[in-house]
């Protein structure tokens, strides 16, 4: 796939106010410090590529998405708000049953791509304790920040600074639930990194 998506506009993960940090209005009720995304989820090609990769394990789509991440993070104008280079890269894990069904974890693949670009490694420091319905299958009114708090727990020591990877951020509910678990376990800064953002 030779398509290169236009970069996503930097905005709050929750209310979409301009700026990649979590805005002042959302900060008191959330745990994620900010979010960097590669492409807008509203782009039909981006959405189709992610769907085919995630639900049909299409290897060509996986390669294209890895390329989009490499092109974006390597660009000089990529948002400089990405967490400091010494942050630990981790990911939002699938529940074990869903991972078995799919055969891979797309968020872990995003973490691997980012770690490779930044010349570091990724670590598995979260476990999903509760199987939940896919957020993509729920309407915007059904997806509320805070609804999923408690579905993740940390595994082993938690570093001070974390980059938390996933494929898509829509309402921010899932990634914030993971950020909550990390903050409660001692992380001081949790920054999200996703392929696509938007409703």
Burial class (CB in 10 A: 0-12, 13-18, 19+), 32: buried
Domain of residue 86 covers 27-197
For the full predicted model, state whether its pTM sits above 0.95: no
Please identify which residue in the block is written with the tokens 């509910």: 173
Q: pLDDT band at 41, cuts 50/70/90?
A: very high
Q: How far apart are CA 44 and CA 56, in angstroms?
A: 17
Residue 17 lies in a domain: no
Q: What value does the mean pLDDT take over residues 171-194?
A: 95
The domain that holds 75 is classified in CATH as: 3.40.50
Task: Say which residue, 7 or 147, is predicted with more confidence.
Answer: 7
Residue 6 lies in a domain: no
Residue 121 lies in a domain: yes
**Most confident of the following: 47-56, 72-81, 101-110:** 47-56
pLDDT at 139: 46
Instruction: Specify whether the CB–CB gap between 65 and 73 falls below 8 A.
Output: no
pLDDT digits (tens, 9 = 90+) for 113-135: 999 988 888 999 999 987 665 54
Q: What value does the mean pLDDT take over residues 34-40?
A: 92
Residue 162 lies in a domain: yes
- Domains of the chain: total: 1
Q: Which residues pair with 91 in a beta bridge?
A: 165
Residue 1 lies in a domain: no
Which of 5-9, 15-19, 48-52, 56-60 shows the lowest per-residue confidence on average (mean pLDDT)?
5-9
Q: pLDDT band at 12, cuts 50/70/90?
A: very high
Q: How far apart are CA 164 and CA 176, in angstroms?
A: 10
Residue 86 lies in a domain: yes
Residue 5 lies in a domain: no
Going 14 to 16 to 17 to 22, the CA torsion angle's sign is: positive
Residue 177 lies in a domain: yes
């Amino acid at each position: 796939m030779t398509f290169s998506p236009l970069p996503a506009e930097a905005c709050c993960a929750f209310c979409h106010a301009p700026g990649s940090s979590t805005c002042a209005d959302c900060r008191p009720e959330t745990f994620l410090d900010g979010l960097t995304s590669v492409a807008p989820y509203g782009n039909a090609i981006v959405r189709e590529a992610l769907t085919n990769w995630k639900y049909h394990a299409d290897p060509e789509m996986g390669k294209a998405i890895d390329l989009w991440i490499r092109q974006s993070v390597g660009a000089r104008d990529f948002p400089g708000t990405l967490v400091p280079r010494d942050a630990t890269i981790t990911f939002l894990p699938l529940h074990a049953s869903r991972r078995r069904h799919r055969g891979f974890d797309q968020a872990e693949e995003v973490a691997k791509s980012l770690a490779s670009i930044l010349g570091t490694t990724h670590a598995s420091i979260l476990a999903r304790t509760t199987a939940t319905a896919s957020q993509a299958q729920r309407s915007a009114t059904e997806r509320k920040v805070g609804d999923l708090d408690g579905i993740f727990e940390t595994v082993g020591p938690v570093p001070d600074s974390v980059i938390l990877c996933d494929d898509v951020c829509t309402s921010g509910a899932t990634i914030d639930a993971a950020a909550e678990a990390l903050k409660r376990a001692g992380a001081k800064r949790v920054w999200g990194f996703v392929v696509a953002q938007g409703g």
